[in-house]
Amino acid sequence: MRGVLALTGAMVAGSALAVSALPAGAAPGGQAPSITKEPFGTLPDGTKVDRYTLTSGQGVRVRILTYGGIVQMLESPDQHGRSTNVVLGFATLKDYVDKNGGPYFGALIGRYANRIAQGRFTLDGKTYQLAVNNGPNSLHGGLKGFNTKVWKARPVKTDGGVGLRLAYTSADGEENYPGTLTTTVTYTLTRGNELRVGYHATTDKATVVNLTNHSYFNLAGEGTGDTYGHRMQINASRYTPVDDTLIPTGRLAPVKGTPFDFTRPHAIGERIRANDPQLLIGHGYDHNFVIDQDRPGRLTKAARVTEPGSGRVLEVSTTEPGIQFYSGNFLDGSLIGTSGRAYRQGDGFALETQHYPDSPNHPSFPSTVLRPGQTFDSTTVYAFSTVSTQSRPSGLAWRLAR
Ligand code: BGC
């Protein structure tokens, strides 16, 4: 087994001295948090791509590529302490380059996550035309979004965990967006098994920005089949219905009485084939939910997902006002994932924290405009834990924790 350099604990930033050798596949449990780096491949233009492995010391291990800031693997223990990879992805850099343009597995998305209608918006009287790459619309930053960039990476000090700071500067006019956008994204893995993602951006001209991470989860394990049995709860009493090209109509519609009501937990598959015009448009769930925030910008619980078989639980909190619940509808079996199995419809779901889609064309939505002198700051936390799903000695069936 190949050894990799391990920087342990809180001393990671700038110090190359206190290193120890850890086997590449070392079991993560019960150790100090650590971060290691290894080569992952070379792009056709000769650029080298690295993979960082962050270990919480408490069972969670996450692997992040400098290419696209992609979360390539995320291992998390089940209720018996058995770890498995719970995110969809690919095994090789070549697959990410050749095949990730459709699904965006694990990737950082920018400059504008989700859709902009007709790829067009007007800001301060000037109209910008973006590349149209999804039907008539622009999706996820255009032809070469942040998911295709090689980010500068450095380990950073954090309180009680390990961090990786990624930096990318998007030139004025890149993908036709105005302004030089200086962006950093910091992934932190805490001892509490939380993956925190901090987004920060500034600009030198007025622009629009909407950043997210596009991980697909399967808490039973990547490649084990569909996620329709996962129980989903979303802290949203409204969502943004869409037209037939998945652009919001502008209405914030109540979820009450519809298959979009996840205010109490429901299996993803329970109502996914209901005869609901919105589900028909999306081929399932592919909608932005309006998070019930007490105060805009405050870290708020957005979603909680439980997988009954393994007992794994994922909780997503965010400072963002919206979350796109995408139930993996367009996975069609043509992509072979990390462990060599084909991904079919519903085999993973994404929970993309974000501002609402097409906000630049909806003045009533929370603004995505960023001006010189302002900073875009946003935090999303993915917390991994377990619940016991075993029958109790009393014979009581397992019930969800709430
Ligand atoms: C979109 C889907 C799209 C998926 C992969 C999601 O954010 O809402 O419509 O298929 O990303 O590109």
Query: Average of pLDDT values for 152-168?
Result: 94
Query: Average of pLDDT values for 380-396?
Result: 78
Q: Classify the phi-psi angles of 303: left when phi > 0, otherwise alpha if psi is within -120 to 50, otherwise beta.
A: beta
307 lines ligand 1 (CB under 6 A): no
List of residues 6+ apart from 154 with CB closer than 8 A: 13, 164, 165
Greatest CA separation found in the chain? 68
> Is residue 215 marked as binding?
yes
Tell me, yes or no, if 200 is annotated catalytic: no
Query: Quick one: pLDDT band at residue 100, thresholds 50, 70, 90?
Result: very high
* pLDDT score recorded for residue 390: 73
> Is residue 115 marked as binding?
yes
Residue nearest (by alpha carbon) to ligand 1 atom 4: 103
Specify the CATH architecture of the domain 3-391: Distorted Sandwich (2.70)
Tell me, yes or no, if 230 is annotated catalytic: no
Query: Quick one: pLDDT band at residue 159, thresholds 50, 70, 90?
Result: confident
State the catalytic residue, choosing from 214, 230, 287, 362.
Answer: 214
Query: Average of pLDDT values for 238-262?
Result: 98
The number of CA neighbours under 13 Å toward the Cβ of 51 is 19
Tell the residue number behind the tokens 């009501």, with chain if given: 261
Asked if 251 and 114 touch (Cβ cutoff 8 Å), the reply is no
104 lines ligand 1 (CB under 6 A): yes
| Euclidean distance between CA atoms 55 and 191, whole angstroms | 9
Find the range with the poorest average confidence among 9-13, 50-54, 60-64, 106-110. Answer: 9-13
197 Cα–ligand 1 center, Å? 20
User: Which residue of 88, 112, 139, 213 sits with most ligand 1 atoms within 8 Å of its CB, as the best mutation to test the pocket?
Assistant: 139
Q: Is 50 exceeded by the pLDDT of residue 118?
A: yes
Residue nearest (by alpha carbon) to ligand 1 atom 5: 103
332 lines ligand 1 (CB under 6 A): no
Residue nearest (by alpha carbon) to ligand 1 atom 7: 114
Average pLDDT of the chain is 91
Which residue intervals of 260-370 are DSSP H helices? 277-282
Domain boundaries, the chain: 3-391
398 Cα–ligand 1 center, Å? 33
Find the range with the poorest average confidence among 100-109, 131-140, 238-247, 392-401. Answer: 392-401
* pLDDT score recorded for residue 30: 67
Query: Average of pLDDT values for 187-214?
Result: 98
Q: Is 80 exceeded by the pLDDT of residue 348?
A: yes
| Euclidean distance between CA atoms 307 and 283, whole angstroms | 22
* pLDDT score recorded for residue 75: 98
375 compared with 21, residue with greater pLDDT: 375
Query: Average of pLDDT values for 197-201?
Result: 98
Beta strands in 43-82 (DSSP E): 48-55, 61-65, 71-77
64 Cα–ligand 1 center, Å? 21
Query: Average of pLDDT values for 180-189?
Result: 98
Query: Alpha carbon 221 to chain centroid distance?
Result: 17
Closest CA to 291 of 323, 324, 252: 323
Closest CA to 321 of 284, 283, 364: 364
Query: Quick one: pLDDT band at residue 186, thresholds 50, 70, 90?
Result: very high
Residue nearest (by alpha carbon) to ligand 1 atom 12: 103
| Euclidean distance between CA atoms 107 and 69, whole angstroms | 6
Two tokens at 60?
A: 């969670």
At 49-81, the pLDDT tens digits run: 999 999 999 999 999 999 999 999 999 999 999
Q: Is 90 exceeded by the pLDDT of residue 24?
A: no
C-alpha distances out from residue 383 to 164, 196, 245, Å: 17, 8, 33
111 Cα–ligand 1 center, Å? 15
State the catalytic residue, choosing from 230, 287, 352, 362.
Answer: 352
Which residue intervals of 40-154 are DSSP H helices? 93-99
| Euclidean distance between CA atoms 351 and 262, whole angstroms | 13
106 Cα–ligand 1 center, Å? 12
Asked if 187 and 64 touch (Cβ cutoff 8 Å), the reply is yes
Tell me, yes or no, if the pTM score tops 0.95: no
Find the range with the poorest average confidence among 3-7, 69-73, 175-179, 182-186. Answer: 3-7
C-alpha distances out from residue 246 to 6, 73, 217, 308, Å: 45, 29, 22, 31
Three-state SS at 96: helix
Residue nearest (by alpha carbon) to ligand 1 atom 3: 103
If DSSP states are collapsed to H, E and C, what string results for 179-235?
CCEEEEEEEEEECCCEEEEEEEEEECCCEECECEECCEECCCCCCCCCCCCCEEEEC
